Structure 1
Amino acid sequence: MARTSRQTNPEGRMPLLAHLRELRKRVVLAVLGIVVGAVAGWFCFEPVFEALQRPLLDAAAVAGKDVRLNFTALAGALDMQIKVSLFLGVLLSSPWWLYQLWAFVTPGLTRKERRHAVGFLAAAVPLFAAGAYLAWLLLPRAVTLLTDFVPTGASNIVDAQTYLSFVMRLILAFGLAFVLPVLMVALSYLGLVRARTWLAGWRWAVFVIFLFAAVMTPTPDAFTMILVAIPMCVLYFAAVGVAALRDRRADRAQAERLAA
């Protein structure tokens, strides 16, 4: 862990000015990390763009239809490259700016809570990546389903900006959905929500998960929806289990303090 140079008062609290300076420092470092990631994303634009339009080209080849991306503005291609670069920058630098967030918060936490924060970040990054990867796997099926509605002999000229927004929303939605169990555990470790509260609402949680899967799954078959919903349900109940273990240890520690 990097040493912090913050000054504290006799009660161990930071002055407001020092707190604002530290916030500015962490925001600047996070933005610089995103910029570095965006520069790397700029040079990766060509293969990424090829991967983005590949589902459209494959769907067109299979259906024998004319489906392609179109740039409607003079600077549309440049604008799309900038947006894709920034999007890749946020994804590539996520461990860095999450660390900056953690580094800003941890001085106000106990040593034990800092270890928990590290664990939350270590779990959030791969879970977000797993959700984003699942969305990427579903993207070709979504494109194939949507292009099936194009009448025979007609062309589907897809606006590039609209298509990019669709892909980004799909990836971010699945990524954030997979991170929600980490938020559940964090709220439990902060003592704000107990495991029995999460467990009491499991029916609503499962319903919302399957509703989300039904809306976001590009195919109308139930099998694909179930394949998407099951991992999310497993993550939900795993988070409940971790929260229950935390509650048990906290209750035992409190009982020992009262007995002493």
Structure 2
Amino acid sequence: MSLVDHLYELRHRLGVALLWVLIGGVFGFWWFSNQLFVLPSLGDLITGPYCSLPESARMTPNGECQLMQTRPFEVFMLQLKVGLALGAVLLSPVWLYQFWAFIAPGLHSKERKFARIFVGIGSLLFVAGALLAYFVVPKGLTFMVGFGGDEFFTALTGGEYINFVLLMLLFFGISFELPLVMVMLNRAGVVSYAQLRGWWRGSVFALFIFAAVATPQDPISMLVLGAALCVLYSVALLICHSHDRSKERKQREQDSAEDPDAPSDVDPRASELSTTGTSSATHGDDEAT
């Protein structure tokens, strides 16, 4: 294909991917205000961490847990934002396939196999990180709003709160891709297990610094994210160690491979013939001398 054909193909794949994200956004927009079978509405799920705060620490107009709207149509835009985010996550296999279909023709069969595995594992890790963030957010909010005591209550606007929750989900989800990146770099030969093991002290320190920057200013979220990243780092080290050991074993087998024309040492007759031939040759040399 020419460069122009590649650009047309890319435009087509991007258009199809964007269309599926929009379809998922429409579904998420509807789910925001409606229950999905036995599942609560998406709005209830999003506001769940805020509503888990004590009533004395948040605004409860009419005795209900509600967020505050400060601008016209703010709720509509927030509902649209949450719907698009949900659509992008739920339909990620569909639009990721479009990018996969664009780059797959340029990959070897082995590279295609590893790419499929990495994409699948990466999606699971992102979902796992987002779920952990959802359960950590209430703890972090409880800690942050507890400083004021009885003199203050928390009246979060819808935009501030939803942006806070979405950023937490995003940061936790992306952070959980760390072991996948390490394994990919190890398999590509960029870093080895010995190097990663030698960097573990600095890596742990860097992980907690990242957790402190990525999370709000509360120790609970920072400690949970830092501890989770350290566990994932350890798992990635074990995988890299296993890969490097297997690679070294194969290399030793190749280096110690014997000459196919040489007799086997396990055959005693071959050893006797070899010894007899060597003795005869030595005796012949002595006679010649």
TM bin (shorter chain): 0.7 to 0.9
Query: 3-state SS of the aligned residue for 1:71?
Result: coil
Aligned counterparts of 1:240 and 1:53: Cα–Cα separation in 2? 38
Counterparts of residues 6-25 of structure 1 (less than 5 Å): 14-25=1-12
Residue 155 to residue 189, structure 1, CA distance change in 2 (3 Å): same
**Counterpart AA for 1:179:** E
Deviates more, 1:119-128 or 1:100-109: 100-109
* Pairwise CA distance, 1:112: 0.7
1:44 matches 2:31: yes
Counterparts of residues 135-146 of structure 1 (less than 5 Å): 135-146=133-144
* Number of the residue aligned with 2:166: 168
* Number of the residue aligned with 2:270: none
Deviation string for 1:124-179 (max 9, x for gaps)? 01110000000000111122122223453544321211111111111100000001
Residue 227 to residue 161, structure 1, CA distance change in 2 (3 Å): closer
* Number of the residue aligned with 1:58: 52
Q: Percent identity over the alignment?
A: 35
Q: Which has the larger radius of gyration?
A: 2
Query: 3-state SS of the aligned residue for 2:52?
Result: helix
Aligned counterparts of 1:159 and 1:250: Cα–Cα separation in 2? 55
Equivalenced residues, count: 244
* Number of the residue aligned with 1:229: 226
* Number of the residue aligned with 2:123: 125
Deviates more, 1:175-184 or 1:225-234: 225-234
* Number of the residue aligned with 1:10: none
**Structure 2 unaligned residues grouped into runs of 5+:** 34-40, 61-65, 260-289
* Number of the residue aligned with 1:8: none
* Pairwise CA distance, 1:121: 0.8
TM-score by length of 2: 0.74
**Structure 1 unaligned residues grouped into runs of 5+:** 1-13
Deviation string for 1:195-236 (max 9, x for gaps)? 333333222211122334455377546xx7555433322222
* Pairwise CA distance, 1:88: 0.8
TM-score by length of 1: 0.81
Residue 158 to residue 231, structure 1, CA distance change in 2 (3 Å): closer
The answer on whether the counterparts of 1:55 and 1:139 sit within 8 Å (CA) in structure 2 is yes
* Pairwise CA distance, 1:247: 4.0
Query: Aligned-pair RMSD on alpha carbons?
Result: 2.8
Aligned counterparts of 1:81 and 1:60: Cα–Cα separation in 2? 25
* Number of the residue aligned with 2:87: 89
The answer on whether the counterparts of 2:58 and 2:155 sit within 8 Å (CA) in structure 1 is no
Query: 3-state SS of the aligned residue for 1:184?
Result: helix
**Counterpart AA for 2:237:** V
Residue 74 to residue 148, structure 1, CA distance change in 2 (3 Å): same
**Counterpart AA for 1:233:** C
Aligned counterparts of 2:233 and 2:169: Cα–Cα separation in 1? 20
**Counterpart AA for 1:66:** M
Aligned counterparts of 1:257 and 1:19: Cα–Cα separation in 2? 44
**Counterpart AA for 2:51:** L
* Pairwise CA distance, 1:65: 4.8
Aligned counterparts of 1:44 and 1:108: Cα–Cα separation in 2? 39
Deviates more, 1:224-233 or 1:29-38: 224-233
